[in-house]
Amino acid sequence: MVKSASETTLPSQHDILPHLGVLDRLLIEKTPDERVPRVQRQTEQLPYYLRGACAAVHQLESARLDAVTILDKLGIGPRAQFVLPVDKVDPLSFCYDSFLFCMRRAFDALVPYLSQCPTNLSLPSSMNDLVAGIRKNKWADLDSEITSEILAFWDSVGWKIKGYQDQASHKAIILSNCVAFKRGDGVRGLRMLLPDNPDEKRPSELRYAPGVPAMNFATDSLGATIVFANALVERMIDLMAPDDSDVRHTGVVAITMRGFPLIMSTKMTGEPVPFPVEVADVVKKSAPRA
């Protein structure tokens, strides 16, 4: 039985990156004490944004399930199609924009590791700029196995995520109009597409014929990114501890900062749960009446 999106547990950092804690320990051990907070700030982002991408896909599936309920509410029978109204499409786009943002940030969050494992290199802050430099043989000291992994991933998946995220952030709402349908056997479905040309400079020229099925692209690219991230983590561990065959079975470090250290006191401060103000009330109060 397939679990609903609301019943699915978000994968942990260990589920996604099983040996990242080992790499973190090796990195902290070589870092001078005064630089540890800076390193922690940089490296805590990779698991955070990969989990964020997972969360966005969960939320997208919940929005998809909610969107197709309109078929039952309207009493639409088998072999029927229905163009979703914007109020049903927008939640899908919100989730997809979040997914693309987290994926792009996860790419960039790999670069601080690459710049320090095993030796210190002056690399750009973005994976896109790193790829451009690799193609120009700008970072000859970067491990050849790592550069091969990066280029293969970017040519397969990375450039598409970058293109879609650039479109979504600066130019267009990239998710197509969505069509809910019910097959002859009663199974519900949703036609939800991304453009075929994510690197198109002119939003008016984005093509959706045939289009890229958006949910399939999300799950496939997420899986490919997790494979890619783990391949880099494993290679960096090997480079950091080339003579230690037991390195993956020794202690790990969980790098998390997330603001200032938490100080407990007798005075309880914070915000109530559930929060007493709802979004609908904020909109009603703030927007002018028609």
- The model's pLDDT over 14-53, given as tens digits with 9 standing for 90+, comes to 999 999 999 999 999 999 999 988 888 888 999 999 999 9
Nearest residue to 107 via CA among 171, 31, 52: 52
Q: Which of 160-174, 211-225, 275-289 has the lowest mean pLDDT?
A: 275-289
Task: Give burial (CB, 10 Å; 0-12/13-18/19+) of 124.
Answer: middle
Higher pLDDT, 250 or 10: 10
Rounded to the nearest angstrom, the gap between the alpha carbon of residue 11 and the centroid of all alpha carbons in its chain is: 13
Measured distance CA(238)–CA(150) in Å, rounded = 17
> Tell me, what's the pLDDT at 81?
87
Whether residue 1 has pLDDT greater than 50: no
Helix (H) or strand (E) holding 182: strand 179-182
3-state secondary structure of 218: helix
Measured distance CA(171)–CA(190) in Å, rounded = 25
Q: Which residues pair with 181 in a beta bridge?
A: 81, 189
Helix (H) or strand (E) holding 65: helix 45-73
Measured distance CA(254)–CA(263) in Å, rounded = 20
Whether residue 201 has pLDDT greater than 80: yes
Measured distance CA(266)–CA(246) in Å, rounded = 45
Q: Which residues pair with 133 in a beta bridge?
A: none
Inter-residue contact 225 to 50 (CB < 8 Å)? yes
Chain segment 164-184, per-residue pLDDT in tens: 999 999 999 999 889 998 888
Nearest residue to 155 via CA among 214, 224, 219, 222: 224
Whether residue 250 has pLDDT greater than 80: no
